[in-house]
Amino acid sequence: MTSSRTMRWITAMAAIVLLVALALGVAIAAAWSSLPLDRATVIIDGETLVLPNLSGWQAALALLLAVLAVLVVAIVTVGAIAIAVATVLFGIAIVVLAVAVTLLLVASPVLLVGWLIWRLARSSSAGGARPELA
């Protein structure tokens, strides 16, 4: 049962990542075709790439790299937020646990005396028999 639940989560996350990648690809392709790229250039290691001169596999590769870059940034951002939230929740749990332990330590003598009084009251009303101490 656990493995099927895990597989459902993995399938759902893979579907979400695929949908985000497709949406990013469509958005970047729309921006590529609608933005004025007449004088847009990219310089990588001293080599100048003029974006209007890209065609065919070069344009597809540039589009794929842009989609992957945005997708990696989105995944890293979501992961960082998830780690931060988990850390905060863990910290809150530790504080709550420390407060509960402190309250129990402070209240333990009162609880012990109350329990002893309750045992004495219960045993005296149950027929007058004295409680036996172990």
Mean pLDDT of the chain: 82
pLDDT at 103: 94
Task: Give the pTM.
Answer: 0.49
**What is the distance between the alpha carbons of residues 7 and 47, in angstroms, rounded to a whole number?**
45
Look at 75 and 34; give whichever has higher pLDDT: 75
Mean pLDDT of 23-28: 80
The alpha carbons of the chain give a radius of gyration, in whole angstroms, of 33
pLDDT of 8 strictly over 80: yes
Structure token pair of residue 63: 């589009």
Backbone φ, ψ for residue 86 (5° rounding): -65, -40
